[in-house]
Amino acid sequence: MRLVIINGPNLNWLGRRQPDIYGSEGLDSINARLQEFAQSLGAELVCHQANGEGQIIDLLQDQADKCQGIVLNPGAYGHYSLAIADAVAALSIPVVEVHLTNVFAREQIRHSQVTAASCDGYICGLGWRGYILAIQALETLVKEGKNA
């Protein structure tokens, strides 16, 4: 099974960007943890990061036929990107959205989650561990033959 993680804007700056909110661990370190976990399940995991909305859409479209499921952290785009929501809705594979922080405990503007309605699942507020749960969920969805 091949799974893909797509991280959105500013996540490449984890560890140095507002560590009081996002923690001190960098994206490379988190990706290494996730790679190790995926391998323990017998899954291949490919990690991407893009700052641009169009880049994220390109990744979603490009990876749709190359994997069985996607973990998507659209970052701030999750709050307003109909374009990313439409791209996710067009996929025939399961997608689980992840946010490191509990967006509902933050500013009111972050409470709106436009992209989440197009996803099969939504996890927030558990830091990097949310990705682990998303990988587990995708593994189950794929084994059950669930398509988005």
As a whole number of angstroms, the distance between CA 142 and CA 68 comes to: 7
Catalytic-labelled residue, pool 77, 99, 122, 131: 99
As a whole number of angstroms, the distance between CA 24 and CA 17 comes to: 8
| Whether 122 is catalytic | no
Catalytic-labelled residue, pool 22, 77, 122, 131: 22
Nearest to 109 by CA among 146, 79, 139: 79
Q: Where are the beta strands (DSSP E) in 19-103?
A: 44-49, 69-73, 95-99
As a whole number of angstroms, the distance between CA 48 and CA 27 comes to: 10
Are the beta carbons of 117 and 81 closer than 8 angstroms? no
Are the beta carbons of 135 and 44 closer than 8 angstroms? no
| Whether 22 is catalytic | yes
Residues acting as catalytic residues = 22, 99
